[in-house]
């Protein structure tokens, strides 16, 4: 329950649909099929609530995964927590951040990227 609460709390502090909707209106951007202004704000709020719920449930599952695996495989809890959800989240975050840093360094040096399918097109 705390994971769900803090996921919604963090999203509420970081994501401001009214500001995004007004910036979109100023710049002439729009969501296809949605009118600018309040309808866009409502659409962004409802979409972010759905995405946040899915993300929060996934984070809660990752948090309880070591307990479930430990019980099913009858492992000592110290072993299952060592290879558990927090370590997995940290590992994925570090790998993604490292890939971003390497790619930005290569782009800064005028390389296309270290992977065949770079994200920057048009060169």
pLDDT in tens, 27-57: 999 899 999 989 999 999 999 999 999 999 9
Residue 122 lies inside a defined structural domain of this protein:
no
Q: Is the pLDDT of residue 118 over 70?
A: no
Q: Answer yes or no: do 34 and 92 share one domain.
A: no
Rounded CA-CA distance 65/83 in Å is 10
Q: Answer yes or no: do 91 and 68 share one domain.
A: no
Q: Answer yes or no: do 64 and 7 share one domain.
A: yes
Q: Are the C-beta atoms of 114 and 103 separated by less than 8 Å?
A: yes
Residues 6+ apart with CB under 8 A from 4: 56, 57, 60
DSSP state of 110: T
Q: What is the pTM of this model?
A: 0.62
Q: How many domains does the chain have?
A: 2
More confidently predicted of 82 and 69: 69
Residue 123 lies inside a defined structural domain of this protein:
no
């Amino acid at each position: 329950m705390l994971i769900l609460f803090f996921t919604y709390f963090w999203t509420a502090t970081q994501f401001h649909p009214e500001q995004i909707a007004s910036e979109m209106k100023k710049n002439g951007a729009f969501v296809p099929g949605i009118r600018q202004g309040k309808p866009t704000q409502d659409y962004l709020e409802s979409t972010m609530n759905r995405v946040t719920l899915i993300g929060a449930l996934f984070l809660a599952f990752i948090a309880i995964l070591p307990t479930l695996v430990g019980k099913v495989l009858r492992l000592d809890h110290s072993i299952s927590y060592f290879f558990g959800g927090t370590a997995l989240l940290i590992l994925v975050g570090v790998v993604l951040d490292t890939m971003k840093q390497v790619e930005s360094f290569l782009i800064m040096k005028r390389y296309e990227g270290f992977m065949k399918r770079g994200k920057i097109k048009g060169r």
